[in-house]
Amino acid sequence: MAQASKAVVHPTFTLPFICGDLFIAFLGVRTISHNTWIHRFVTIGVRPLVNTGITPNQITTLRLASGIGAAACFAVGEELWSIIGSGVFVLSLLLDRADGILARLSGKTSPGGHKFDLIADSLANSLAFVGIGIGLRHSPLGELAIPLGVVAGLAITAVLWLVMRAEEQAGSRAAELGSTAGFDPDDAMLAVPFAVLLGWGTELIIAAAFGASLFAVFFFFKFRDFLGR
């Protein structure tokens, strides 16, 4: 991708890409199913770990650490670091699937592990947008990119709180969004690093700030009955 200081807006792609990103940014929370193409792919690598000493929580910790590392790379705002950050973020997203798969295959699922998974996913995805915003500080958006990234991150965190509240009241996975044709809504997060690599960070961070905020409002009304209990 181009360096942040040389960011270029692509008018032909702006509107459809922003519409797509509105959906992508909505999905920075762990509200997914377990039977998708990505889950099946990751399962191949996870099966050999079932009878080892590796635990789901260890993978979740690695998922969080790699997410933070990706965010730090994005925040540098240079081409090389953006490429590295994108690769690390893809790895982080795959680890996001791996921890739950290992938990189910090894019979090590637990409420505490599920909550840790939710928090780690939310932090990793939230910080990624904050990092992208910081990295775009020399783009045409200037310093405005930073608060846009923060707004996107805070909106994702707000949705996490709503999901956890719903699950406290109605049980685990009460706020789950199902898959369609083998694809999970959260799979759309994979488009984030590719958008960064293509130099579409400006469109991405604008759409993320507004899209994630709108989705937080949507989740509030969808699960508002749980808030007063």
**CATH code of the domain in which 50 resides:** 1.20.120.1760
Q: What is the mean pLDDT of residues 151-169?
A: 82
**Total-model pTM:** 0.80
The mean predicted confidence, pLDDT, of the chain is 81
| Nearby residues of 52 by Cβ (< 8 Å), 6 or more positions away | none
Strands annotated E in the chain: none
Q: What is the pLDDT of residues 167-225, one digit of tens each?
A: 777 665 555 656 565 666 677 788 899 999 999 999 999 999 998 899 888 878 877 77
Which amino acid, one-letter code, is at 188? A
The residue written with tokens 């459809």 in the block is 16
State how far the Cα of 223 lies from the Cα of 225, in Å rounded to an integer.
Answer: 5
State how far the Cα of 134 lies from the Cα of 74, in Å rounded to an integer.
Answer: 8
* 3-class DSSP assignment, residue 183: strand
Q: Which of 70, 69, 71, 46 is nearest to 58 (CA)?
A: 46
Provide the domain count of the chain: 1
Residues spanned by the domain of 60: 4-227
The pLDDT assigned to 5 comes to 39
- Extract the tokens encoding 13: 């792609």
Residue 9 scores a pLDDT above 80: no
Q: Exposed, middle or buried: residue 8 (CB in 10 Å: 0-12, 13-18, 19+)? A: exposed
The pLDDT assigned to 227 comes to 62
